[in-house]
Structure 1
Amino acid sequence: MSKLRRNRLTAAVHLTLLLALPTMAAAQDAPKEENTLDTISVTGSRIKQTNAVTAQPVYVMDRAKIEETGVASVGELLQQLTASGKALNAKFNSSGNFGYPADGGGIGAGSAQVDLRNLGSQRVLVLVDGIRWVNESSASGVSGSADLNTIPLAIVERVEVLEDGASAIYGSDAIAGVVNIITRKNFQGAEVHTYYGQYSRGGDTKEASFTFGTGGDRWTAVFGASYYDQERISSAEWDQSSFPVPGGGLDFGSSGTPQGRFRFCDPAIAAGPGSCSSAATYYNITLNPGTTTPIFVPGNPNGGTYNQFDSADRFNFAPFNLLLTPSERKSLFASINIDLSDNTRLHVKTLFNNRQSANQAAPEPIFVGPGAGTGGIADTISIPANHPFNPFGIALDANSNFLFIGRRPLEVGPRIFEQNVDTWYFNVGLDGLLDIGGRSYGWDANYVHTRNSATQRFTNGYNIAHIRTALGDPAVCAATPGCTPLDLFGGQGRPFTRAMIDWIVTDQRDASTQELDIFSANVTGDLFAIGDRTAGFASGIEHRRYKGDFDPDPLRQTGESQDSFAAPISASYDVTEVYGEFNFPVMATLDLTAALRFSDYSTFGSATTGKAGFRWQPIEDLVVRGTYSQGFRAPNLGELYGLTQFGATLVDPCGPTNQVVVDTTNGISAGLEAACVAAGVPNNFEQANTQITTFTGGNPDLDPEESDSWTIGAVYSPGWAEDKSWSRKLDFELGYYRHKIEGAIQANDLQGLLDTCYNAQNGTGPACAPFTRISSGDLRPPNNFLANLGQIETDGVDIKVNWLSPEWGFGNLSASLQSTFVNDYEAVDAAGNVSSRAVGVEVGDSAIPEWQSNLQLGWQRGGLGFTLSTRYISSVEESCAGVEGLPGCDGVATNKLGATTYHDVQFAWKNAFTMEGLKLSLGANNVFGKEAPICLGCSLNGYDAGTYDLPGAFWYVSADYRF
C-alpha cells in the first residue's frame, strides 16, 4: 500500500521510456497513427503499452503545449490544471508571521506545489522521469510535499498527470494522483532561450537557459543551465490593500497599532483592591494621533491624550505585504547515456538548483500581558509603576489588573524572511534488455541520492526575553549590559530610540534539510500468450531511506522569540517494498489489469495495497475504461515529530465581531448567551487578538492514511470526424472519479469546534475541550495536535475534447477543452463535525469551485501561430460571519465571489526573419486585466491566491534559437 509500489512503477516507467526498450521509444517518437486515440502515455503502469488509450486517465502536456501557456515555471503550469486545487505559489506571502501549520512541514515560503482533486499537495506524488522527487524543506519544517521550483522548466520535455490513485503502482503519497515530469534526453545541437515578462503592477520576470545535446554511436549527453529571476510586487500597488483592510475591513485590521492599545484596570478607580475581576472595569484605550507626551486622566478613557479604542483605530497592515514574492533561481543539469553493450546501458543524471526568495510582513507588533495569548513569556510580563515610561501611575500586574498592551513600532521596519535553498540530485544506474526462452525482458537498476537544504534569515524580529527585561524593574535593566528601558507607551509621536531597538531586535536563522536515498531494481516483459496476444507483467523491489532535520533558531526553541515557537526535528525512517503488476488480454476487446504492492516501514510496520482495472474497446472508435485503487499515505517526518505554534484567526461566537454581545436585546439566542456567560464572558466582550496562538504539531503514534479510489470513463475518437473536409481528428474523453480517505491525518478545525462548542453544545460539550478563557473572557492558546481524525470524500467528472482541422488555405485550426466538475467534497472528523470546506465555498483562503475549465483555440500557418486560451472558474460563496455590514455582506448571510474568466493570447513566429531555428513569441496572460474577486475573509491581500491569478495582466516576450 505504499511508496515501494510507486517507486517500483516509477523505475519501470523510467526503464520503458528512457532506456530499455528501443521499440517503445521509437513508438513514442514516431507520429501517432491516424486511427489511434490520442492520449498515449505510460505513466500509471510499468508494463510496456501498445494501446493509445490505457486503463487509467492520463493528461499529457508536451513541450509545445507548455510553451503556448506563456508561463515560466513548472508550478505555474500545473496550478492551471482544471483538476488542481489550492497549492503554495509565489503569490503566498505568509512566513513565520503566521506561525507553522500542524503538519510539521513548515510554511514552505518561496516554494511551489501541486494539489490534485483538492486533497492537498501531500497526497500528490511528484516523479521526475518516473523516479520519486525529494520533498522540500524551505527552512521552516520537514514537509511531505515536493517543491516544483527545484525543477527548472528548461529541462522539461513533457508533463504527464495521472488523474487516478496509484499507491499500488507507485507507493505512498499517490492518493490523489501522480505528476511525472519527463526531462529532455534525445537532444541534438544547442538551444538558447530568453524570456522577459512583467505584470501591470511590476514584478519583472526574466528567464534564460542554454541547452546542449550531443552524442555518438554508443552514447548521448544533454547539458542544461538556466536562470530565473522574478521581482517583487508590493501589496500597496493594489487599491484593495488601502481600504478596507483585506480580511474584512478595519474590523479585521490589527489591534497592534503604532499608537498602542492599552487594556488594564486601575484598582482605585474600580472601587478598591481586588475589584479588577470584571473585564467591564478595564480600560481599552489608545493614544490620539500626533501625541508626543502621553497624558492619562484616571477614570476617563477619552481624557488627556487618549481615546476609547474602536475599529477605526485598528492598523492596516496590508500595504506592507507583498502581492508577489521575489524568487531567483539558478540551475545546472546533465544527463548521459552510454551503451556498455548491445543490451546494457549506463545512465547518469545530475541536477543542482539554487533558490533565493523572500517574504515581507508589516513591522512586527509587540504584545505583552496575559491577553497577548502566546502561551509563552509575553503573557507573563508585568510593568512596574516606576518604569520610566509608564504614564498610568500604577503597576500593570499580569496576575491582577493587566490584560495587554499592543504596539507596532513602524520605526523598526518590516519583517523580512529570506530563504536560500539548495537542491542536489544524483541518479546512476543500468538498464537493458534480457532474452530468456525466446522472450525479451526489460530491466533496470537505479541508485538515487537527492537533498533539499534550506536556510532562512528573519530580520526585524524581537527577543521577547529582552523586552521583558526592558519593561521590568528599571534597576534590573540598568544592571544588565545593553539593556535600555523600552518606551511602549509613546506611540509614533515618541518612537523607539536606536538603543531601544538594538536591545530588543535580533536576527533569527532557521534551517532544514531533507534527504532521500533510493535503491531499486525492476523487470518488465511478457508472461505468456493468450491467443494472438500476450500477458504482460512488471515487478521489482525498492528500498528508500528518508532523513529530515529542522533546526529552528535557538530563540524559537526556548520561546524567547516574539515570533512563533518551534522545536527541532532530527529523524529518519526507511521502507522496503516489492510489487507486481499484470495485464491480461482476456478477450480481443478486453484487457484486465491488476497490481499489488507490499511495503515494510520502520516507523509503523507493513501494509499492502492493490489496484484493478479494465480496458474495453467494443468498437474501433471507442474505449471504455475503469479502475479501482487502494490508496496509502504514510505519515511523513514532520507529521510524526513536529512541534510548533500557529496563529489561527478565529471568530469568537461570544464576541461582537460576530454581532454576538452577551445581551438578549441584541438578538442572541438564550442558549448562546447562557453559554458565554457561563464561560465568564462579560457584556460587550471583544477578543483582544483574533489571531489565537495554537500549540500544534506532530504525533508519533499516527497511522497511515488509507483510501479507496474509483474511476470510470470513455474515450471516443469517431471515424466520421477523421480526415474529413472539416476535421482531421476529433477526440472526446469523459471520466468520473471518486476518492474516499479514511484516517486522514489532520488537526481539528478549530473554528468549527469553537462554533460547535457554543452554538450546539452550550459551552460544555466535547467540542469545548481545547478552549479555556482567562478572567477577561479572552481565549487561552488551545492545543491542536495531529491525529487520524478525518474522513474525506470527493467525486466529480472530467471532460476533455480535442479537435484538429485539415490543411486549409488560410492555415490549420485546433481546439482543446479541459473541464472539471466537482460534484461533492466533504471532510468529517472523528466526532462527526463536518468541515466548512465544501464545493462552491470560499473558506480558509481556499475555494473548491464547482467548475473549472480551460479552452485553447489555435491557428497555425507555416511558421506563424496564434493561440487564445480561456480559463474559467465558477462562482463561490463565503460566510459573512464576522464581516457583517461590509460591501457584499450587508444584510446577507454570504458574500458571492463571482465567476472569473481569464483570457491569454500568444503570437509565435518560427524561423523568424528567415533565420532557421529562431522562434519569437509575444503574449499576454489575463490580457484584459481581470482582477480576482474580493474575499472579505481571506488573510493578507484580500483575495484567494491559490485559486485566482494575480490582479492585473501579465505580458511577455520570448526568443528561442536552436542551432
Structure 2
Amino acid sequence: MSCKHPVPNPSRAVLVLGLIASSIAPIASAQDAQPQGPAAVEQTVVVTGTRSLNRRTLDSESPVDVIGSKELLSTGSGELATVLSRLLPSMNFPRPSGADASDAVRPAQLRGLSPDQTLVLVNGKRRHTSSVVNVNGTLGRGSAPVDLNAIPLAAIERIEVLRDGAAAQYGSDAIAGVVNIILKRGAEGGEAEVVYGQYDKGDGEQATVRASTGVKLGDDGWLRVAVEAADRNFTNRSFADPRPAAGPRQGTITQRYGDPDSRPRTLFVNSQVRINDDIDWYAFANYGKRKTSSAANFRTAFTNDSQTTLRSPLYPEGFLPLLDSTSTDASIVTGLRGELAGWRWDASLNHGRNRFELDVANTVNYSLGATSPTRFYAGELTSTQSLANLDIAREFPVSFMKGPLTVALGLEARHESYEIGAGEANSYFGTGAQGYSGFRSDDAGKNSRNNKSAYLNLEGDITDQLSGAFALRHERYSDFGNTTSAKASARYKFTPEFALRGTVSNGFRAPSLAQSYYTITTTNTLLVNGTSALVETGTFPVGSAAATLLGAQPLKAEKARNFSIGAQWQPTRNWTTTVDLYRIDIDDRIVFSSNLQLANAPALGSALANRGVYVGAARYFTNAVDTRTKGVDVVSTYRLNLAGGSRADLTLAYNHNDNDVERVAASPAVLSEQKLLLVDRQTVNRLTVGSPKDKLSLSGDYTQGAWGGRAAVTRYGKFTVPQNDASLDQTYDPQWVLDLSASVRFASQWRLTAGIDNVTNRYPAQVTSRSNLNVNGTQPYSVWAPNGFNGRYYYLKAGYTW
C-alpha cells in the first residue's frame, strides 16, 4: 500500500520569492527615501545547532528561527504550543476534543512529522517527555512528546527553532528539528502582566497572571523567578442531540465539544553564581501542576431508539462522563561551566519527571448497577529522565582556514523510566467506568533503560566565503543496541548579499518507553460497518502475550536521512530572505497499528479470551512504515523606518510540506489469515494528508512613540480526515484567519493591549454526516482543524515593567 503526492516543485519557492520581491520593492524605495532610522534588523547570536561562540542567524549553515519574548506575547493565547503554531508556518497544533488524555496534553507537529520527532531543549539541555500517549484518532496518534504547554511564557527570553535534522548533535528525537527554549536571565528588571479574554460565543473565559523578576545572589550571581497561573474555562461547540435514545434530553445539547477546562500553575527559576574567574555554577528548575477537566461522549438514557431499557438508574436522563486529570511536571538542571587551559567546559546533571493522574467523574460502572460510585480513580502514568553531561570545546588555529576550527567533544549518560499505576478496582471491573476504564492491576508496572553516548563536532570558516561543520555521534541503548549518526553542512557566500547553504545527515529516533510498554483497555468510539459504536479496545505492549498472539515484533529505532539546501539573501540592511528546500526519509517509522476489530476475526477473539483478555478490538505499536517528507520554507523580514521615529516590521513566512508513504510492511500471517490489516488505509493517510500541506503567514508590527499595533493573517492549507472507506474521506478547504491588536504605553512603565484573534470569526467546515464522525450531528467540527473551532476571541492585557 502506498500513497503518492507530487514532488514539490522548486519553482514554487522561486515564485513566492519573486512575489515577495515585487511586493516589498515599492516599500524598499520608500525606505531609501526616508532618513535612516536607528538600525538594520539585528542578527541574533544563536546557540542551537552550533558549538561556535559567535554564530549569527544569518551565518548559520542550517535554518534557525529566533522568536523573542515580545513575539511570544503578541497573541491572545497563553499556551506555548498555540503561540508557536501561529508564529511558525512549519508547526501545526490542532485541538483534540473527546480524545481522553490527549485533551489535556495536546501534541504539536513540526513539518508534518510525528510530535515525538521534534527534540525540545531548555537552555540547551534535553527536556523530559510527557507520560501521556496519544492513542485515539488524533494527529500525532501513538506519540508521547514533550508537553510544550507546561512551559510558561513568563519564563522565556527567546526560542530558537532549528529546522533541520540534528540527531548527530543532540541524539534521539531530533529528526524534524529542535526547539530550544532560552530562559530569562539576570537580576535586573522585571515584568508583570494580567490577561483576560473570552470567546465570541460567551464561553471559554480565560484569566492569566504572569510575572518575572530577578534578584542578586552575592556580588557575582543572580536568581530569576517566573510564575504563571491561569484559569481557562471550557468551550462548547456541540449541537443539539437529535437521537431518540437521548430520552428526555433529546433536542438539547448533551455533548461538551471544545477546549477543556484547564487550571495551570507554574514556577520556573533560573540562576547563576560566579565561583571564581574561571568557574560558574548554574541551575534552573520548574514545578507546575495543571488540572484539566474534559468530556467524553454523552451516554444516552436508553440503549436504543425503542427506549425500553434504562442504561443506569443513577442517571435516568443520561450522563456526560468527565475526565479530571492532574499533570504534575518538575525538573532540575544544575552544573558547572568554565574554562581550563583554553578549553570551555560544561558538566551538568539533569532530572525531569511528568506524572499524569486521572479521575473519571459524573459516571458509572454499569456492572455495579445502582450501587455504582459516580467517581473513580483511574490510575496514573509517570515518565522520568535523568542525565549526566560533559561538554568541552576549544578553538584551534589552522593554517589553511580563514578562522579558527572549533572542536567540541561530549559524553552523555541517560536513564529513563516509564511507570503505569493501577486505578481502583471498580474503575475497570466489568464494563469499567464509562468514559475511561481505569488502568488494571495487570497493566501496572515500571520499566526503564539506560543510554550512553559520545559526540564530536567540528566547525569553522574555511575561507572568507566558505564555512562548514561536521558532527558525529555514537549511542548505545540497553534495550535495542547501538546507533551512529553523522551530519555535514556548509555555507558559501557568493556576495555580501547572497549565500547558499546545505546539510546532509542521518539520524534516528529510539522507540520511547511509552511506545514499548503502554497498556490499557478502554471504551472507544470506532466505526463499525460505517456506524460509530462504543467498542472495548485493548492497547497492548509489543512484548505481551496478547500482542505476540496478534503478530507483534520487538520495536527498533527509526532511521532517518535529512537533506536540505537553502538560499540567504540580504539585498539591504533591513531586508532578509531565506528559502530552504528539504527532504526527510524515515525508515521503520513507528506507528500505532490499525484497530484490529475482533468481531471480524472470531478465532483471534477466542484465542485472546482463552488468555483472559476480553476486548472487541486490539492494537499495538509497530515499525511498519517508511516515509518521505519533502518541502520548502520561506522566511522574509523587512524593517521600514518611517518619518518621526516610527517603524514597521514586516514578515512573510511560508511552508509547503508533502508527506508520502514509500513502504508499508506486510501484515503478519496471523492477521492476514483473518483478513485483518496491520496498517490500514486510515493509518497511512493520517501520515500523508492529515495536516495542512501549506501554511502562509503575513504579519506587521507598527510602532509610533507610545503606540503600537500588530496585524497577522494566516492561511492554513487544505487537509483531509481519512477513513478506511475512501468515500467517507472529508477534505477541508484552506482557511484565512486574521488577528489584530493595539497597545499603548503610559507612565513609562505601564502597557495596555487590546486584541482580537480570528477577527472574521472563521470556523472550519462542518463534519459531514455520511461518516457519522459528527456523532449524529452533535459534534460538528473536526479535531484536526489546525486553527481549532472556537471562533472569535477578544482579550485585554495590562502589563507593568521595572
TM-score, scaled to structure 2: 0.81
Q: In terms of mean alpha carbon deviation, does 46-55 or 740-749 score higher?
A: 46-55
Residues 318-343 of structure 1 show CA distances to partners (whole Å, capped at 9, x for unaligned) of: 74213121111112222221111111
**1:322 alignment partner in structure 2:** 257
**2:122 alignment partner in structure 1:** 128
State whether residues 845 and 939 of structure 1, in contact with CA within 8 Å, keep that contact through their aligned partners in structure 2.
Answer: no
State whether residues 85 and 848 of structure 1, in contact with CA within 8 Å, keep that contact through their aligned partners in structure 2.
Answer: no
Partner Cα distance (1:581, 1:110) in 2: 39
Residues 272-299 of structure 1 show CA distances to partners (whole Å, capped at 9, x for unaligned) of: xxxxxxxxxxxxxxxxx89xxxxxxxxx
**1:59 alignment partner in structure 2:** 65
Give the letter aligned to residue 806 of structure 1.
N
Residues 407/944 of structure 1: CA separation in 2 closer, same or farther (3 Å cut): farther
Partner Cα distance (2:126, 2:325) in 1: 24
**1:553 alignment partner in structure 2:** 423
Identify the match of residue 708 of structure 2 among 858, 865, 874.
Answer: 865
**1:527 alignment partner in structure 2:** 396
Q: Secondary structure at the match of 1:113?
A: coil
**2:99 alignment partner in structure 1:** 94
State whether residues 82 and 853 of structure 1, in contact with CA within 8 Å, keep that contact through their aligned partners in structure 2.
Answer: no
**1:211 alignment partner in structure 2:** 212
Partner Cα distance (2:615, 2:683) in 1: 29
Q: Secondary structure at the match of 1:320?
A: coil
Residues 763-793 of structure 1 show CA distances to partners (whole Å, capped at 9, x for unaligned) of: 99xxx9979999xxxx982432211111121
Q: Secondary structure at the match of 2:763?
A: coil
**2:188 alignment partner in structure 1:** 188
Q: CA deviation at 1:444?
A: 0.7
Residues 924/63 of structure 1: CA separation in 2 closer, same or farther (3 Å cut): same
State whether residues 161 and 178 of structure 2, in contact with CA within 8 Å, keep that contact through their aligned partners in structure 1.
Answer: yes
Kindly tell me the number of residue pairs found equivalent between the two proteins: 716
Give the letter aligned to residue 322 of structure 1.
Y
The answer to whether structure 1 residue 949 and structure 2 residue 788 are counterparts is yes
Once the two structures are superposed, the pairs formed by residues 683-832 of structure 1 within 5 Å of their partners are 690-700=533-543, 701-718=554-571, 721-722=572-573, 729-750=574-595, 781-809=616-644, 811-826=646-661, 828-831=663-666
Q: CA deviation at 1:410?
A: 5.1
**2:164 alignment partner in structure 1:** 164
The answer to whether structure 1 residue 351 and structure 2 residue 286 are counterparts is yes
Give the letter aligned to residue 622 of structure 2.
A
Q: Secondary structure at the match of 2:258?
A: strand
The answer to whether structure 1 residue 852 and structure 2 residue 754 are counterparts is no
Partner Cα distance (2:338, 2:800) in 1: 35
Give the letter aligned to residue 790 of structure 2.
P
Give the letter aligned to residue 797 of structure 2.
S
Residues 143/422 of structure 1: CA separation in 2 closer, same or farther (3 Å cut): farther
Once the two structures are superposed, the pairs formed by residues 244-643 of structure 1 within 5 Å of their partners are 257-258=245-246, 319-364=254-299, 409=315, 411=317, 413-434=319-340, 436=341, 440-467=342-369, 500=370, 502-503=371-372, 505=374, 507-529=376-398, 530-555=400-425, 561-562=432-433, 563-564=436-437, 566=439, 567-643=443-519
Give the letter aligned to residue 855 of structure 1.
L
Give the letter aligned to residue 392 of structure 2.
V
Partner Cα distance (2:477, 2:368) in 1: 45
Give the letter aligned to residue 327 of structure 2.
V
Residues 647/187 of structure 1: CA separation in 2 closer, same or farther (3 Å cut): same
Q: CA deviation at 1:648?
A: 5.8
Partner Cα distance (1:352, 1:880) in 2: 41
Partner Cα distance (1:134, 1:159) in 2: 17
Partner Cα distance (1:829, 1:541) in 2: 37
State whether residues 405 and 458 of structure 2, in contact with CA within 8 Å, keep that contact through their aligned partners in structure 1.
Answer: yes
Residues 906/326 of structure 1: CA separation in 2 closer, same or farther (3 Å cut): same
Partner Cα distance (1:54, 1:166) in 2: 14
Structure whose alpha-carbon radius of gyration is higher: 1
Residues 694/622 of structure 1: CA separation in 2 closer, same or farther (3 Å cut): same
Percent identity of paired positions between Structure 1 and Structure 2: 22
Q: CA deviation at 1:828?
A: 4.0
State whether residues 359 and 375 of structure 2, in contact with CA within 8 Å, keep that contact through their aligned partners in structure 1.
Answer: no
Identify the match of residue 110 of structure 1 among 83, 96, 104.
Answer: 104
Residues 890-924 of structure 1 show CA distances to partners (whole Å, capped at 9, x for unaligned) of: xxx865522211100111213x1xx1221211111
Residues 72-106 of structure 1 show CA distances to partners (whole Å, capped at 9, x for unaligned) of: 121211232554455465x53421xxxxxxxxxxx
Identify the match of residue 935 of structure 1 among 758, 767, 778.
Answer: 767
Q: Secondary structure at the match of 1:822?
A: strand
Residues 855/453 of structure 1: CA separation in 2 closer, same or farther (3 Å cut): same
Partner Cα distance (1:817, 1:584) in 2: 31
Q: CA deviation at 1:598?
A: 1.0
Q: CA deviation at 1:696?
A: 2.5
The answer to whether structure 1 residue 79 and structure 2 residue 85 are counterparts is yes
Residues 608/558 of structure 1: CA separation in 2 closer, same or farther (3 Å cut): farther
Partner Cα distance (1:772, 1:797) in 2: 50
Residues 955/586 of structure 1: CA separation in 2 closer, same or farther (3 Å cut): same
Identify the match of residue 223 of structure 1 among 222, 225, 231.
Answer: 225
Q: CA deviation at 1:362?
A: 4.2
Give the letter aligned to residue 354 of structure 2.
N
Identify the match of residue 908 of structure 1 among 743, 755, 767.
Answer: 743
State whether residues 403 and 463 of structure 2, in contact with CA within 8 Å, keep that contact through their aligned partners in structure 1.
Answer: no
Give the letter aligned to residue 73 of structure 2.
E
Q: Secondary structure at the match of 1:340?
A: strand
Residues 692/367 of structure 1: CA separation in 2 closer, same or farther (3 Å cut): farther
Q: Secondary structure at the match of 2:277?
A: coil
TM-score, scaled to structure 1: 0.68
Q: In terms of mean alpha carbon deviation, does 843-852 or 150-159 score higher?
A: 843-852
- Please provide the CA RMSD for this pair: 3.7
Q: Secondary structure at the match of 2:556?
A: coil
**1:179 alignment partner in structure 2:** 179
Q: CA deviation at 1:36?
A: 8.6
Give the letter aligned to residue 526 of structure 1.
E
Residues 642-671 of structure 1 show CA distances to partners (whole Å, capped at 9, x for unaligned) of: 22236565545xx4x4xxxxxxxxxxxxxx
**2:549 alignment partner in structure 1:** none
**1:44 alignment partner in structure 2:** 49
State whether residues 751 and 800 of structure 2, in contact with CA within 8 Å, keep that contact through their aligned partners in structure 1.
Answer: yes
Residues 449/780 of structure 1: CA separation in 2 closer, same or farther (3 Å cut): closer
Partner Cα distance (1:224, 1:531) in 2: 44
Partner Cα distance (1:126, 1:733) in 2: 24
Partner Cα distance (1:783, 1:132) in 2: 34
State whether residues 140 and 550 of structure 1, in contact with CA within 8 Å, keep that contact through their aligned partners in structure 2.
Answer: no
Residues 705-743 of structure 1 show CA distances to partners (whole Å, capped at 9, x for unaligned) of: 11111111111001xx34xxxxxx111110111111111
Q: CA deviation at 1:589?
A: 1.4
Partner Cα distance (2:506, 2:302) in 1: 49
Residues 863-883 of structure 1 show CA distances to partners (whole Å, capped at 9, x for unaligned) of: 211111001112345569879
Q: CA deviation at 1:554?
A: 3.8
**2:671 alignment partner in structure 1:** none
Residues 153-186 of structure 1 show CA distances to partners (whole Å, capped at 9, x for unaligned) of: 1001111111111111111111111111111012
Partner Cα distance (2:374, 2:266) in 1: 35
Q: In terms of mean alpha carbon deviation, does 455-464 or 854-863 score higher?
A: 455-464
Residues 896/744 of structure 1: CA separation in 2 closer, same or farther (3 Å cut): closer
Q: Secondary structure at the match of 1:79?
A: helix
